Amino acid sequence: MVSKSGEVKQLDYCKPMESSKEIELTKTLIKYKAVKPNEINSCMDFCSAWLQEHGMNVEVLENEGLKIIVANLPNKNKSLPKVILNGHIDVVPGGEGVFQPRIEDGKLYGRGSYDMLGAVATMMLVMSDLTKRDNLKYNVSLVLVPDEEKGGENGSKFLVENGYLADFVICGEPTNYNISIQAKGVLQLKITVKGRSAHASRPWQGDNAIEKAMEVYRKIKNLPCFQETNTFFPKESFNLSTIIGGGVINQVPDVCSFDLDIRLLPEQNPEEIYNLIKSEVQGAEITLLKMGVPVLVDEDNIFVNQLKTIANKVTKKDIHFIGQYGTADTRFYSEYGVSAVEFGPAGAGHHGPDEFVYVQSLINYRKILNDFLLHSRRETL
Ligand SMILES: [Zn+2]
């Protein structure tokens, strides 16, 4: 920009670079359109070759037809504490356009740019950076999983069940640099209530199953444990998801069933809550559909504090500890007592048509992870 006096003015807004290793690698991953198993596996093949070319020892596992990658540094030292960087390759479906990545105003648009191929690409670059260092403070592995968006059972769950554990795990989910140290537990139930059918004109001769089910529903919803909240979760998550009952209009319904999706506070024990419901509710059949443990990492945990300090320093932002209402692969590690957090770059619109990640945030993310992995927990920064 040239002012009236003819001198060149410094622009306040520095146009971010249009090309960097982070951008190029993220774009490449987006174009794989990793939705279906064959697309996911093709992307895994690319990542495996890339990691080997950049000096990693790569193990490719296969479970239920899906590939999983575990990459280790060649200079790994087994006596050091172990840190896992965990990234999922799969993305949710979208129109063709979202698989054509583009840069606009410092943002990299495309499916998975924010959730979480930008983080995956950056983690791959971090691993490559670490192969050049000999002052490692951790034994670092990168694991790339194929099915987080579908529940993670074939990827991260399979890995933890086969002993791929660590002292600390970072899942690169989109968190805008905040560190998610809590996630709600899950309790999904089917409740079936039986009654007795009769002609609708004489309802007293029957026993209305839908009305009985409504009473059961209110009884469960009003239990004190479902009114509780905490600092991270100011809202309760109790959802009546489906209801099936009745057949024809002139009949008293003899059966009614409904599904509940309940998300529990991290300090609540899903097993105990399930038993409480069974003991409080009489005259209904309760079927357990799913039980998932919460994530609860201590705010004083030395790893998360180190990560927070470094993220603050690199981004010059106020980084917060946060809680997630939904679940991620952190829960599988949590089940084995491993401290696992969600921590990823900044962007918006994940799972939507305008998903993007800030290019600068990928560059910051790389610096944060590098700094974190090159400083021991006791070092002052
Ligand atoms: Zn994700």
pLDDT in tens, the chain (381 residues): 333 333 333 333 344 566 799 999 999 999 999 999 999 999 999 999 999 999 999 999 999 999 999 999 987 778 899 999 999 999 999 998 999 999 999 999 999 999 999 999 999 999 999 999 888 889 999 999 999 999 999 999 999 999 999 999 999 999 999 999 999 999 999 999 999 999 999 999 999 999 999 999 999 999 999 999 999 999 999 999 999 999 999 999 999 999 999 999 999 999 999 999 999 998 999 999 999 999 999 999 999 999 999 999 999 999 999 999 988 999 999 999 999 999 999 999 999 999 999 999 999 999 999 999 998 665 544
Greatest alpha-carbon pair distance for the chain in Å reads 95
Residue 172 Cα to ligand 1 midpoint, Å, equals: 8
What does each C-alpha distance from 75 to 71, 146, 169, 324 come to in angstroms?
Answer: 12, 26, 20, 35
**For residue 260, what is the domain's CATH number?**
3.30.70.360
Residue 156 Cα to ligand 1 midpoint, Å, equals: 13
Beta-carbon count within 10 A of 203 CB? 13
Spatial distance between the Cα atoms of 41 and 24, rounded to a whole number of angstroms: 20
Residue 59 Cα to ligand 1 midpoint, Å, equals: 23
Assigned domain for 11 exists:
no
Assigned domain for 34 exists:
yes
Residue 325 Cα to ligand 1 midpoint, Å, equals: 14
Residue 91 Cα to ligand 1 midpoint, Å, equals: 8
Structure tokens at 110: 């495309």
Same domain, 28 and 159: yes
Residue 252 Cα to ligand 1 midpoint, Å, equals: 46
H helix or E strand, kind and range, residue 242: strand 237-245
Residue 151 Cα to ligand 1 midpoint, Å, equals: 10
Assigned domain for 7 exists:
no
| pLDDT at residue 136, as a whole number | 86
What does each C-alpha distance from 144 to 59, 64, 172, 352 come to in angstroms?
Answer: 11, 15, 11, 23
Tell me the helix, strand and coil percentages in the chain, rounded to 5. 35, 25, 40
Residue 114 Cα to ligand 1 midpoint, Å, equals: 8
Residue 8 Cα to ligand 1 midpoint, Å, equals: 44
Same domain, 197 and 178: no
Domain hosting 79: range is 21-183+295-374
Residue 149 Cα to ligand 1 midpoint, Å, equals: 6
Residue 316 Cα to ligand 1 midpoint, Å, equals: 25
Spatial distance between the Cα atoms of 18 and 300, rounded to a whole number of angstroms: 39
Same domain, 165 and 65: yes
Of the residues 292, 317, 332, the one at which a domain ends: 292
Same domain, 285 and 312: no
Assigned domain for 359 exists:
yes
Of the residues 239, 260, 292, the one at which a domain ends: 292
Same domain, 263 and 334: no
Same domain, 47 and 158: yes
Same domain, 303 and 280: no
Q: Taking each helix axis from N to C terminus, what angle separates 118-131 and 37-53, rounded to the nearest 10 degrees?
A: 20
């579908």: which residue's tokens? 150
| pLDDT at residue 375, as a whole number | 82
Same domain, 168 and 221: no
Residue 301 Cα to ligand 1 midpoint, Å, equals: 24
Same domain, 119 and 238: no
Beta-carbon count within 10 A of 176 CB? 18
Same domain, 55 and 113: yes
**For residue 62, what is the domain's CATH number?**
3.40.630.10
Residue 112 Cα to ligand 1 midpoint, Å, equals: 8
Structural domain count of the chain? 2
Assigned domain for 13 exists:
no
Same domain, 280 and 243: yes
| pLDDT at residue 2, as a whole number | 35
Assigned domain for 347 exists:
yes
pTM of the model: 0.88
Assigned domain for 16 exists:
no
| pLDDT at residue 17, as a whole number | 61
Assigned domain for 82 exists:
yes
pLDDT, one tens digit per residue, over 28-50 is 999 999 999 999 999 999 999 99
Residue 86 Cα to ligand 1 midpoint, Å, equals: 11
Same domain, 177 and 299: yes
Of the residues 292, 325, 356, the one at which a domain ends: 292
Residue 148 Cα to ligand 1 midpoint, Å, equals: 7
Q: Across the beta sheet with 285-292, what order do the strands follow?
A: 237-245, 255-264, 185-194, 285-292
